[in-house]
């Protein structure tokens, strides 16, 4: 590789370029790879993919902590207004602390597939 650099840059600059490439080549390649993956993720996501439908109140059946501290996250068994039950995970402490008898859910629809999904929200969203 040193011979190749010497042909392109000349013998005096080839050694400096070789040392710099050996010292900083892997970090620079990793940085370029990180930027490429980040830009791909930004371009591949669609901010308007989920469409807000409504805020719903649901009965809380059971709350089970993920760890010894409920503030770090909980599993929540809820009963939707239509009678179906589902289990959700919540790791936001402000929402986890509010889960007692009633939970507030945001109903969303995937604009690409039409699939309905639910997300736990703070209780004040369902108040009005």
- Encode pLDDT of 31-44 as tens digits: 999 999 999 998 88
Mean pLDDT rounded to a whole number for the chain: 88
Query: Is residue 2 very low, low, confident or very high in pLDDT (cuts 50, 70, 90)?
Result: confident
DSSP 81: T
Query: Is residue 128 very low, low, confident or very high in pLDDT (cuts 50, 70, 90)?
Result: low
Query: Is residue 56 very low, low, confident or very high in pLDDT (cuts 50, 70, 90)?
Result: very high
Q: Select the more confidently predicted residue: 72 or 119.
A: 119
Crossing angle of the two packed helices 11-44 and 2-9, in degrees rounded to 10:
100
* DSSP bridge pairs for 52: 108
DSSP 67: S
For the chain, domain boundaries: 2-44, 50-127
How many CB atoms lie under 10 A from the CB of residue 96? 20
CATH fold of 50-127: OB fold (Dihydrolipoamide Acetyltransferase, E2P) (2.40.50)
């Amino acid at each position: 590789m040193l011979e190749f650099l010497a042909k392109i840059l000349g013998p005096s600059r080839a050694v400096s370029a070789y040392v710099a490439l050996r010292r900083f080549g892997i970090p620079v390649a990793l940085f370029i790879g990180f930027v490429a993956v980040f830009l791909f993720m930004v371009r591949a996501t669609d901010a308007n993919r989920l469409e807000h439908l409504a805020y719903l109140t649901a009965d809380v059946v059971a709350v089970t902590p993920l760890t010894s501290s409920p503030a770090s996250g909980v599993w929540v068994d809820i009963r939707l207004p239509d009678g179906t039950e589902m289990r959700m995970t919540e790791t936001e402490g402000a929402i986890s602390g509010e889960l007692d008898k009633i939970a507030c859910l945001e109903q969303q629809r995937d604009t690409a597939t039409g699939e309905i999904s639910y997300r736990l929200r703070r209780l004040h969203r369902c108040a009005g």
